[in-house]
A and B are shown apart, each in its own frame.
Chain A
Amino acid sequence: MNFLFAPGFFASSPVHVALVVGGMAALVSGVVGTFTVLRGQSYSGHALADLAVTGGSASFLASVNPLWGFAGTGVIAAGVMDMIGIRRPRGRDLATGIVRGAGLGLAALFLYWDTTNTSTTGATITILFGSMFTIGSNAVPLVAGFGVPALVIVAVLYRPLLLSSVSADVAAARGVRVRLTGLACLMAIALAVSLSAVTVGAILSTALLVGPAAIALRLTSSPGRATVAAAVIAVVMTWLGVVLAYDSFTWPPSHDGWPVSFFIVTLIFLGFAAAQLAGRGRRVKG
């Protein structure tokens, strides 16, 4: 047992926070991510994560907890993207890209001001790649505060979301407010990626959003089961990533630990590859 869990793992307080916050972020990402993939909105998710960078850098300037910046910008960005609102995927991707480009340009500005005006030199790295072990326990209620609404949105809008993901026209005919549902979904995505931006960084929150969901959808075609599976996979991989990152503190070359985000992303990718192979096996047998 000791070979997997380096000594001091279970006693370490930063580890506890990492597991709790990381777990919550993963849970929300897995659930929301299932619908992101079903709706083909992986790019929007990625864009929202990057836009969260803008918010994160702004909050460093204002010396607030980055989560506010991430979430605030994410929600605003979701609103803007929905306003530019184009239904066809191509046009939507273009609009997403433009909003993202503009937002990142703004982020560049904020980060530039960050580094020249304040003394936080590591701002760029923290925002982009996360700070799992330095979150601080006062973030826990904050994370829950943002995570619960995201889960509530998905729970309340479950049927309309499913319907409009499969066919917007059928959904509209059935009385579903497609536009409103779409906006709510984007908001949920924004919240989900904001949470994981804190743990694994804005750049990699897409992995938590899309990866476990993609894996789950490879394993089962029922959306309900996929949502649960995605959440479980996301949490497991995050925790495993935390374990490995803690272990890596003794590894070369810097003996300072490899980034948690790297482990989580690699695990997700391996999981996806495995699910791919498993899927092929099933088809051959059937």
Chain B
Amino acid sequence: MVNAWVTASIVAVIAGVVGFFVVLRGAAFVADAVPQGAFAGAAGASLLGINTLIGLGVFALVGSLGIGWLSRRARRDVSTALILVLMLGLGALFLSFTVEYSSEIFSLLFGEVLGVSTTEILPVALLGAVCVLAVLLLFRPMLMSSLAPESSAAAGISNTRMELIFLIIVAAATSLTLPVVGALLIFSLMIGPPAAARSLIASPLAAMGLSVVLALLTVWVAIAASYETNWPIGFFVGAGGAVCYAVGRVLGWWRTSRASRGRLVSGS
């Protein structure tokens, strides 16, 4: 049970950090597509008798880079959609080859945090730390390239390289977090808390911090609730992400309306 809390917390930190840039770069669809493609990889790996994590990682990376490559030739949303469905089609194929699968598919799709073993925590923690470190080290260039691509090019930052690194980090974060929260819902963690944080705080670094805090809260509540009711954790994460987002939007709207009212009141 302790394993579940620890792993989920690691997942939340990763999601909060990486998700910050997902929201900033408007890459919600990509962050959504990569985990689903990764799921197909897990199915394939299971078929071949390999560790599912390897299948996850390979397909996540291939998918992520595939989207990046195709986006340079076609619209980004179409490229993402096509790569996504191609990988899912393969996933459907792999699944059809196996026989006794339903519960494992379910947990890959919707999460099974209570099934994490102690031996799996260390690699997840290490790789997670690497992801987070990478984002922190590249914070400024990544921020610039996300917000002002033309100026960053002038400043000598390669936008394509930042995009590539971003995609790789998303792939890595996905592979790490997917087994816990499930393919279909990992990105709720990567989108809801960061979106809320951005509505509330302007300073990027602080916003990222808040995003991590919100992600942690979401995950902890989700685990507790899932443990109590026996319902899938994915349900609570999906709901939690939505709540974060809704609260963020309401508070943000309230703040802007207060600010404009304040200006009216204080006169010229």
Contacts and interface: CB of A to CB of B under 8 A. Distances in A.
Interface size class of A (residues with CB under 8 A): 35 or more
B97 A111 contact: no
Contacts of A41: 77
Q: Say what secondary structure dominates the interface of chain A.
A: helix
A40 B32 contact: no
Scoring A93, A115, A264, A276 by chain B CB atoms within 10 A of each residue's CB, the highest score goes to A93
A204 B29 CA distance: 15
A98 B245 contact: yes
Contacts of A204: 85, 88-89, 92
Given A37-B78, A105-B238, A207-B85, A98 B29 contact: no
Contacts of A272: 82
A221 B153 CA distance: 32
Contacts of A276: 73-74
Interface stretch (A66-74, A119-127, A179-187): A119-127
B232 to A, nearest CB: 4
19 contacts: A41-B77, A42-B81, A43-B77, A43-B80, A94-B191, A98-B192, A101-B237, A102-B238, A102-B242, A105-B239, A106-B239, A107-B184, A112-B110, A203-B85, A204-B85, A204-B89, A210-B78, A268-B85, A269-B89
Contacts of B205: none
A12 B81 CA distance: 34
Contacts, number: 184
A161 B242 CA distance: 30
A94 to B, nearest CB: 5
A98 B95 CA distance: 28
B75 interface: yes
Nearest to A130: B92
Scoring A108, A124, A214 by chain B CB atoms within 10 A of each residue's CB, the highest score goes to A108
A50 B89 contact: no
Contacts of B26: 89-90, 93-94
Contact of B29 (A42, A105, A129, A264): A42
Nearest to A261: B92
Interface string A100-142: 1111111111011001000001101100110000000000000
B75 A40 contact: yes
A262 B90 contact: yes
A270 to B, nearest CB: 10
A2 interface: no
Contacts of A261: 89, 92
Interface in A256-270: 256-259, 261-262, 264-266, 268-269
Interface of A: 37, 40-43, 45-46, 50, 89-90, 93-109, 111-112, 115, 121-122, 124-125, 128-129, 201, 203-204, 206-207, 210-211, 214, 253-254, 256-259, 261-262, 264-266, 268-269, 272, 276
A106 B28 contact: no
Contacts of A108: 109-111, 182, 184-185, 231-232, 234-235, 238
A106 to B, nearest CB: 7
Contacts of B237: 101, 105
Nearest to A276: B73
Contact of B93 (A93, A100, A115, A259): A259
Nearest to A205: B85
A37 B76 CA distance: 11
Contacts of B220: none
B246 to A, nearest CB: 8
A29 to B, nearest CB: 12
B238 A106 contact: yes
Contacts of B109: 108, 124, 128
A40 B77 contact: yes
Contacts of B90: 262
Q: Which 10 A-B pairs have the closest CB atoms?
A: A105-B238, A265-B89, A101-B188, A207-B85, A102-B242, A90-B26, A108-B110, A42-B77, A105-B235, A262-B93
B102 A124 contact: yes
Contact of B184 (A50, A253, A254): A50
B105 interface: yes
B35 to A, nearest CB: 11
A264 B86 CA distance: 10
Nearest to A214: B78
A211 B185 contact: no
A88 to B, nearest CB: 9
Nearest to B83: A269
B195 interface: yes
B139 interface: no
A46 B184 contact: no
Nearest to A210: B81
A108 B96 CA distance: 21
A45 B237 CA distance: 22
